[in-house]
C-alpha cells in the first residue's frame, strides 16, 4: 500500500480526536442552547442598541459558531493514529532536534498539529515557517527559513525520531 501525503490531513492521536469530538458535540448542542438563552435574556432587557449584554452574547455566539466550523474541518480531515514516518527524516509525529546556525544550544520539539498541544514537549506545527522548512529533511541536512523581521536563519537537523521512541 502506498501512503500519499496530503497537506490537508491532520494526524491526531485517539485522545486528541476524542477531546475535539467532545468539544464539538458540546458546542453544537448544549453550547448553542446556552448562548441562545443568554441572547434571549439580554433581548428581554430592552433597547438592543445600548445593550452590552446582548452584543457580548452575540459576539460569543459568533466565536462558538467559528469554533464549530474549525472543529468540523479538523475532524473531517483527521486521520487517527500515527503519521507514516521513518527515523532520520523530519515529518509530523517526529521528535526533532535542531541547532540554529551560530548557536551551540540544541532545541528539541515535536513536529505535530497544534491540536496535540497536550504533549509534554514543545509542539511546532508543520505549517509554521520552521516546520515547513525542515519537513522532509534528513539528519545532517540544513534548512533555511525567514523570520518575521525578514532575516533568513539556517538550522541543522541533528536528530529526528518517532515521538515517544527516544
pLDDT tens-digit readout, 132-164: 899 889 999 999 998 889 889 999 999 888 776
HSE-up of residue 118 (Cα within 13 Å, Cβ side): 9
Residue 125: CB atoms within 10 A of its CB come to 17
7 pLDDT above the threshold of 60 = no
What is the per-residue pLDDT for 60? 93
CA distance 166 to 147: 29
What is the overall mean pLDDT for the chain? 82
Cβ neighbours of residue 60 closer than 8 Å, sequence gap 6 or more = 35, 38
Q: What Å distances lie between residue 160 and 56, 57, 99, 107, CA to CA?
A: 46, 46, 12, 12
CB under 8 Å, gap of 24 or more: what pairs does 123-129 form? 124/96, 126/91, 126/92
What pLDDT is attached to residue 33? 93
Domains of the chain: 10-80 (1.10.287.180), 94-160 (3.10.50.30)
Do the Cβ atoms of 95 and 123 come closer than 8 Å?
Answer: no
Give the pLDDT confidence of 117-131 residue by residue, as tens digits.
566 778 888 888 998
Beta bridge partners of 161: 95
- List 158's β-bridge partners, or say none: none
Whether the per-residue pLDDT at 84 is higher than 70: the answer is no
- Write out the three cell numbers for 165: 521512541
**Confidence at residue 24, expressed as pLDDT on a 0 to 100 scale:** 92
Please indicate whether residue 66 or residue 162 has the higher confidence score (pLDDT): 66
List, in sequence order, every residue forming a beta bridge with 146; answer none if it has no partner. 152
**% of the chain exceeding 70 in pLDDT:** 83
Amino acid at each position: 500500500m502506498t501512503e500519499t501525503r496530503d497537506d490537508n490531513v491532520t494526524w491526531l492521536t485517539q485522545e486528541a480526536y476524542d477531546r475535539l469530538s467532545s468539544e464539538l458535540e458540546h458546542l453544537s448542542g448544549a453550547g448553542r442552547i446556552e448562548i441562545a438563552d443568554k441572547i434571549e435574556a439580554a433581548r428581554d432587557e430592552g433597547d438592543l442598541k445600548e445593550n452590552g449584554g446582548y452584543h457580548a452574547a452575540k459576539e460569543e455566539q459568533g466565536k462558538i459558531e467559528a469554533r464549530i466550523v474549525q472543529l468540523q474541518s479538523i475532524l473531517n480531515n483527521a486521520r487517527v493514529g500515527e503519521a507514516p514516518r521513518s527515523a532520520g527524516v523530519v515529518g509530523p509525529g517526529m521528535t526533532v532536534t535542531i541547532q540554529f546556525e551560530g548557536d551551540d544550544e540544541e532545541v528539541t520539539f515535536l513536529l505535530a498539529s497544534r491540536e496535540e498541544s497536550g504533549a509534554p514537549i514543545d509542539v511546532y506545527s508543520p505549517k509554521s515557517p520552521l516546520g515547513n522548512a525542515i519537513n522532509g529533511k534528513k539528519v545532517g541536512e540544513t534548512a533555511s527559513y525567514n523570520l518575521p523581521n525578514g532575516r533568513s536563519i539556517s538550522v541543522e537537523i541533528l536528530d529526528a525520531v518517532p515521538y515517544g521512541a527516544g
